[in-house]
Structure 1
Amino acid sequence: MIAQALADTDWAAQDSLSDEEIARRVVADPDAAPILSDAETAAALVRTVRHRLGLSQAAFAARFHIPAGTLRDWEQSRKKPDTTAMAFLRVIAREPDMVARALDPVTR
């Protein structure tokens, strides 16, 4: 099914579309995922990790030594985490307990 759809696609026509036309088509297609800005993508990552851990914003911020206001700004797409913060969030997503232990002054 996928192979057939790829074979049936007019790739030259697709390549000729402008960014604006692509954006219009995405908005018009109810099955298409929205195009997210970098800040919106980062916000989704932060919220997903926090929710998966079952933590409030305050608890997540305290556990991982992130200022609560910064976390709130990230989740509301007001600010985008820099490259270092995104790397830290990805490590938290994979190994939250290890990060919490590493940051805990009692276990150091």
Structure 2
Amino acid sequence: MRGEAVAGAKVREFPEPDVKAIRERTGLSQTRFAYLIGVKPKTLQNWEQHRVRPAGPARALLKIVEANPNALSVLHV
């Protein structure tokens, strides 16, 4: 069933995050923010410059950090 459409299933699509604004609200550098969310700094730069769009789990994590800029400190003590 992997990769196949399921009748009646609901798909939740998160709106396009403003990655730079989210990171700036945390007060973290690009390097530190990238490390904490588990991506390479170049990936983060591409997201911030709208060259590439974050998808899936990364987009969901960004939504969490957008709602609570201190969320990353809970994950990485």
Structure 2-normalised TM-score?
0.64
Choose between structure 1 and 2 for higher RCO, CA contacts under 8 A separated by at least 6 residues.
2
2:65 matches 1:92: yes
CA distance in structure 2 between the partners assigned to 1:98 and 1:81 by the alignment: 18
Q: Which amino acid aligns with 1:46?
A: V
Larger Rg: 1
Asked whether the 8 Å contact 2:34–2:44 carries over to 1, the reply is: yes
Partner residue, 2:11: none
Structure 1-normalised TM-score?
0.48
Asked whether the 8 Å contact 2:34–2:40 carries over to 1, the reply is: yes
Partner residue, 2:6: none
Partner residue, 1:47: 20
1:70 pairs with one of 43, 61, 65: 43
Q: List alignment gaps of at least 5 residues for structure 1.
A: 1-40
What pairs with 1:1-108 in structure 2 (closer than 5 Å)? 41-42=16-17, 45-102=18-75, 104=76, 107=77
Helix, strand or coil for the counterpart of 2:70? helix
**Structure having the larger proportion of residues in helix:** 1
Question: % of aligned pairs identical?
Answer: 32
